[in-house]
Structure 1
């Protein structure tokens, strides 16, 4: 594969999820991403999950294919070395989640290099501190997640992930502008803004402003359409989603319940035709479907649902997924120092049907001599 971002140099001063994910996204497309860490390594180098030898699989996963230098960021001389790395070569991009050191900020660096692109992640738009789980708490989503009365933060740091991809999009938009004009740009993304924008774009905030609808927790059911989880006769749990009338009719044909629901529709004077109808009458639908699932072994369920092209999937653990990874084109085998050989993801983006192979994450200061000599 010809690397789409070959020749793009990115200096990353970051930690945790969003900014390292931005750098990883670019590295997987061929950019030369240089991770700058404090002496001894960044704080997230010890974050769980860990290998049996204590290596952070979290850090290794988010920093595959990058180069790494370690410097004393409290030393003016070392910060000058980093600044020279940024401004001294060809066009460069800086990705960071800190504005602690003014001499590594946009104003100071762009004064020396007007074509610099500087990408900064803030916690809040006003510059205040925030992380994914605190942002979750303030955006309404945990009050709709799970069941019971207590708020439930999602185990997936969704706003970090979204923010990392927004950073990459903003960076590449600025890079296109630089290609056209030769001008650099300062790009800023706030983690809280990403969460609030998403809540607005999905209509949740407009619903709260414009209607009296009272959103409540609904477990695995899907708001406004029909979806739920079911247990088969042999104890396997599956999730199904019926978005369209075609999906609904296929589900009835698959389960042999067409006549039953036609009778219910006539007797109760209700319709199951639209998404809204099926959501409103889910308390009628679910018991009948649950009975069919509960009487049918998983192998038969899988065969029938697949045959009828129902949207469904079996619930699987990470441990169950692991043996299947080598069969997927998304994954390639790497040998990560301190962790060992394992299957790691390439970029989800395919270019002309192919992707770059994954490469191991760097050790602390691995490229100091190469980059700071």
Structure 2
């Protein structure tokens, strides 16, 4: 964790991935992120993966470093507490993150009536307010239809919730941008971040929208890298490696390392082309190239290829399971300074990640685990709402907080 946002206060009323990941990014850069949930936990409190005792590893992963208050949101008095927290005074407060429906007691209009300079960032499914999650949006934009083996027409759902993760990061960027404006003008803002718009805009930025209008849907091509040279190959010792050659240097280094320069030059002479000058031609003629590479990989052990690839400047990777990576890959996990081993609310002790960004030359602070549900209820009520112990006790007696 870092102290870049020390003093900033973000109130989070959100569930699942996009909203909580946004809050996580703020917390890991030093902001005070206060998450409110209904008593007993919201819809993501028991979400898988879970421990044998039913504690959500997902929940405690996305809520590291936050503070937690548990409120009975089913009663008007509880909803009033949530609104009061979101609109609590303070120059560095008034930042509210949510995925509650636009038309609810947490609407921006209702919050702005209490605090005109509030910045509300609302993560949504569809831009029109219709419900959606990452996987349904992904199906709608056609990515699963492009994914998978060329000889199997079934769509392939991706296990990585890309739009959710992008949504959390984009929401953090949007909130920070609005905060910078507020510091200059005093204006609040209502920012909506629909997953549907994130997906559509991302595909537009990547040229995919223009591509499909010009040439139609992209066909399935298995593990072949679109538009350049890249694919997985099996070595003599049955290891599976992926190589990618986009730049001329990557291409020439790959050919030299595999002793394929002459064989590839013969294909170039036959076709009257230069693979070195045009990465797209390597993709167009991959059916001619792949057999050469398959044979070259099949004749060499991975223990020979890996150091040779490194020496030759080849861009490569080895396929491994997540368990193999977590337990044996020093660059990713076992020796990565992003990770610290801490004890979590589930009672388990395991490595957890701090912020993905590294501030060069600045030490990382100790990583804070996720809170227990409602762990900071009394503290938050006293600090933000100025309630004394008697008032807080009465809220407990009435079952409004826990």
TM above 0.5, yes or no, is yes
Structure 2 residue aligned with 1:266: 269
Do the aligned partners of 2:38 and 2:71 also contact (CA within 8 Å) in 1?
yes
Matched residue, 1:222? 225
Shift of 1:258: 0.8
CA–CA distance in structure 1, aligned partners of residues 365 and 42 of structure 2: 26
- Aligned partners of 1:61 and 1:361 also within 8 Å: yes
Listed one character per residue, the Cα deviations across residues 291-342 of structure 1 (whole Å, up to 9, x for unaligned) are 1111111111111111111111111211111224231111111110214111
Please give the alpha-carbon distance, in whole angstroms, between the structure 2 residues aligned to 1:30 and 1:142.
Answer: 37
Cα distance in 1 for residues equivalent to 2:33 and 2:64: 10
Quick one: distance in 2 between partners of 1:51 and 1:320? 20
What are the Cα deviations for residues 231-250 of structure 1, in whole angstroms up to 9, with x where unaligned?
Answer: 11111111111001111111
1:332 aligned partner: 340
The alignment partner of 2:193 has SS state of strand
Give 1:365's aligned residue.
374
Q: Are residue 243 (structure 1) and residue 246 (structure 2) matched? A: yes
Residue 99 of structure 1 and its aligned partner are, at CA, apart by 2.5
Aligned residue number for residue 112 of structure 2: 110
Inter-partner Cα distance in structure 1 for 2:129 and 2:234: 47
Residue of structure 2 aligned with 1:253, choices 249, 252, 256:
256
Corresponding residue SS for 1:45: coil
Aligned to 2:190: 186
Distance (whole Å) between structure 1 residues aligned to residue 64 and residue 280 of structure 2: 44
Report if aligned partners of 1:17, 1:62 keep a CA contact under 8 Å in 2. yes
102-111 or 29-38: bigger deviation: 102-111
- Bigger CA drift: 316-325 or 171-180? 316-325
Q: In the alignment, what sits opposite 2:129?
A: 127
TM-score (norm 1): 0.96
C-alpha displacement of 1:268:
4.0
Q: For residues 75-119 of structure 1, give each alpha carbon's deviation from its aligned partner in whole angstroms, at most 9, with x where no partner exists.
A: 111111122222233132110001377332211111121121111
Q: How does 1:91-240 map to 2 (within 5 A)?
A: 91-99=93-101, 102-147=104-149, 148-209=152-213, 211-240=214-243
Aligned partner of 2:51 in structure 1 is 51
Q: What is the alpha-carbon root mean square deviation over aligned residues? A: 1.5
Q: 1:326 touches 1:332 (CA, 8 Å); kept in 2?
A: no
In the alignment, the residues of structure 2 paired with residue 77 and residue 159 of structure 1 have an alpha-carbon distance, to the nearest angstrom, of 35
Structure 1 residue 358, shift from structure 2 partner = 2.3
Distance 2:238 2:116 in 1: 63
Q: Secondary structure at the match of 1:138?
A: helix
CA distance in 2, matches of 1:232, 1:357: 42
Contact 1:51/1:339, CA 8 A, preserved across alignment: no
> Are 2:88 and 2:94, in contact at CA under 8 Å, matched by a contact in 1?
no
Equivalent in the alignment of 2:25: 25
Aligned to 1:43, the other structure's residue is in SS state coil
Structure 1 pair 76–351 and aligned structure 2 pair: CA distance change class (3 A):
same
Residues 17 and 160 in structure 1, CA contact (< 8 A), matched pair in contact too: yes
The answer for unaligned runs of 5 or more in structure 1 is none
Contact 1:96–1:120 (CA under 8 A) maintained in structure 2: yes
Taking a change above 3 Å as real, the CA distance of residues 339 and 142 of structure 1, as seen in their structure-2 partners, is: farther
How many residues end up aligned between the 2 structures? 372
* Structure 2, unpaired ranges of 5+: 382-391, 393-402
Question: Is the 1:118–1:187 Cα contact (8 Å) retained in structure 2?
Answer: yes
For 1:10 and 1:261, locate their aligned partners in 2 and report how far apart those are by CA, in whole Å: 58
CA distance in 1, matches of 2:104, 2:48: 31
* TM norm structure 2: 0.89
- Are the equivalent residues in 2 in contact too, given 1:55–1:339 (CA < 8 A)? no
